[in-house]
Structure 1
Amino acid sequence: MTAWQWVKVIGNFVNLSTLSGLFAGLLGRATFTRGPRGLIFANGYQLGFPIAGAFTIGNVVLSKHDRAYFGNAALVRHEERHSWQYFCLIGLPMLPLYVIGVVVSFLLTGDPASRNPFERLANLDDGGYVERPVQPIGRTVAQAFSGRRSRPKGQ
C-alpha cells in the first residue's frame, strides 16, 4: 500500500466508517478477506439491501458474490474511489449524501447512478454502469411504474 492509502485506512477507521462496514458485513453473514489498496472484501453478503452487486462502507466492500467477482481491476478501483469519498466526507455523512445522489439521478435519468455525483466521481464505467441521458420526469415516472430498471453489469 502507498502512504496515502495508509492515511485512508487509518482515517476511515477513526471516522468509524470502516467499523460500520465491518458491522454491516457481520449482519449480512459475509466472509471477510483482505483486498488490495487497503480494502477489505466482505463476500457472500446475504441481506437483500442494497441491490447493487457491490457497495462500499469505509474501506469495506460488501458483495453478495464470491471473491472472484473482484478479479476485475476496474471494479476494485471504482470501489476504492468510494472508500476515498468516505475519507473525504469524514465517514458516515457519505451515506445520506449518497442516497440524495441516487434520488436526484433517478429523477433526472430514471437510473440511480448516471447523475449521482459519487458514482460519476468513482467512474461509472469502472463500476459497470451505463450512463443514461437526462430525460423528462414523465418518462422517469412511467419507467418506475412499468418496473423497468437499469442495473450495473454483473447483477
Structure 2
Amino acid sequence: MRRSHRIRRVLNYVNLSTPLGLLLARLGRARVSAGPGGLLLGHGYRIPFPVAGAFTVGNVVLTRHDEGYLTGALLRHEDRHAWQYAACAGLPMLPLYLVAVLVSILICGDQAAWNVFERLAVLEDGNYARRSPRWTRAARRQNPSDRNEFL
C-alpha cells in the first residue's frame, strides 16, 4: 500500500468516518473484506438507503451487490470519495454532501450531475450522466433554431 493510502486510512479512522462506515456495514449485514489502497469493501449491504450502486463512508465502500461489482472505474470513483472524507475532516462531509445534492437538484433536477463531490470523483466513473442546467434546457426549448449557432 502506498504511503498516501496509509495516511488516508489513518486520517479517516481518526476523523471517525471509517468507524461510521464499519458500523453501517455491520448494521447492513455487509461482508467486509480488504480492498486496494486501504479501502474496505462491504458487499451484500441490505439497508435500502441510500439508493446507489455503491457508496463510501470513510474508507468503507458499501454495495448491495456481490463480490466482483466494485472494480475498475466504479472503484476508482469510490476511492476518490474516500479522499474527500479525509479532505473534509471526516463526518462534516455528510452534511456538505447533502447540501451538494440539494444544489444539484436545484440546478438540473438530478442528485449527482452538479454535485461538486460527484463531479470531483468523475461522474461517469460512478455511472452518473452529465446534465445541463435547467435554465439552458428551457432556453433551448424556447429557441430551437439557436442550437447550432455556436457550433
TM-score (norm 1): 0.86
**What is the CA deviation profile of residues 18-62 of structure 1, one whole-angstrom value per residue up to 9, with x for unaligned ones?**
000000011111110111111101110000100011000000001
Letter in 1 for 2:95: P
Query: SS at 2:125's partner residue?
Result: coil
Please give the root-mean-square deviation of Cα atoms over the aligned residues, in Å: 1.5
Matched with 2:25 is 25
Query: SS at 2:70's partner residue?
Result: helix
Task: Describe how 1:25-64 pairs up with structure 2 within 5 A.
Answer: 25-64=25-64
Q: Distance in 2 between matches of 1:67 and 1:83?
A: 19
C-alpha displacement of 1:67: 1.5
Query: SS at 2:62's partner residue?
Result: strand
Matched with 2:147 is none
Runs of 5+ in structure 2 lacking a partner? Answer: 139-151
Task: Describe how 1:1-150 pairs up with structure 2 within 5 A.
Answer: 1-71=1-71, 73-136=72-135
TM-score (norm 2): 0.88
Runs of 5+ in structure 1 lacking a partner? Answer: 140-155
Letter in 2 for 1:5: H
Q: Distance in 2 between matches of 1:53 and 1:126?
A: 12
| % identical equivalent positions | 51
| Residue-pair matches, total | 138
Q: Which structure has the bigger radius of gyration?
A: 2
Runs of 4+ in 1 over 2 A off after TM superposition: none
Query: SS at 2:90's partner residue?
Result: coil
C-alpha displacement of 1:92: 0.4
**What is the CA deviation profile of residues 70-123 of structure 1, one whole-angstrom value per residue up to 9, with x for unaligned ones?**
13x111111010000000111000000001001110111111001000000000
Letter in 1 for 2:104: S
Q: Distance in 1 between matches of 2:41 and 2:5?
A: 16
